[in-house]
Amino acid sequence: MKTNTKKTGKLIIGVLLAGVLVILSSCSVKQEINLRADGSGTASMTAEIDETLTTYLQSLAELTGEETTDGMLFNVDDIRKGIEENPGLRLETIENNEDKLIKAVVQFDDIEALILQSEENLNNKQIISFNENGSEKEIKIYIDIDNFLDIAPLFPVVEEPLFMTFGPIENQGLTEEDYLEMMEYALGDGGGALIKESMITTSINIDGTLISQTGGKITGKNAVTFETPLIRLLLLDKPIEYSIKFK
């Protein structure tokens, strides 16, 4: 039996793919994590993309010279390559349906392997840590402006100029009101409201007994659902923090 054994940093759960979708989705990003007691499991994600945002971003890409791949905003090949280069992950399926819907299912040996911590961010908090203390296990999710780009190896689009324009790093210090006003101007009437109403929903099913959680809602005997407002991830004006403790 292990005591106080820490497996820090390499993953993202609540925002698996949300970083890529953060400016591309309308209101529907749903993820489900099935976590076994040994830290392995599967992660699935489905995202529906609003046609207004798709059309706008494709037009912006043409104006700025940042071309999309075969007309697609999601580069499935890049995502697949990032997953295949990580020995702890196995991609079951990934689909991109005319840029309106994307689906992905990934198996992981260790939940921390979903996204590796970059060497540049070794002094920052990991996006997710998985800790054991005797029979108890705890998952902590922590996303801030300093570790946000750790998702880049798996989702390179977050470092593209087109994405960076609307992402948290380029908009540090901007208030929510100012950001939504900017999006209203960029997307047209209703654009700001579309962003404000958008949510990223992540359900985590535990193979064990749930002890406690912070930041989410208990939605089953051993299940927790976290709802992250898209605007919070776009601005990251304060850290996003969640946790689950189980045995």
Tokens representing residue 129 in the block: 């840590």
Higher pLDDT, 13 or 153: 153
Question: pTM of the entire structure?
Answer: 0.76
Q: What is the pLDDT of residues 102-159, one digit of tens each?
A: 788 999 999 887 766 666 666 678 888 899 999 999 999 998 998 888 876 655 556 6
Q: How confident is the model at residue 45 (pLDDT cuts 50, 70, 90)?
A: confident
Tokens representing residue 143 in the block: 């996303």
Question: Would you say residue 15 has pLDDT above 60?
Answer: no
Pairing of strands 89-97, 5-7: unpaired
Contacts 24+ apart (CB under 8 A), 79-83: 79/20, 79/104, 79/154, 79/155, 82/153, 82/154, 82/155, 82/156, 83/154
Question: Would you say residue 24 has pLDDT above 50?
Answer: no
Name residue 88's beta-bridge partners.
none
Q: What is the pLDDT of residues 177-226, one digit of tens each?
A: 998 988 887 767 777 887 888 888 889 999 999 999 999 999 999 999 99
Per-residue confidence (pLDDT) for residue 3, from 0 to 100 = 36
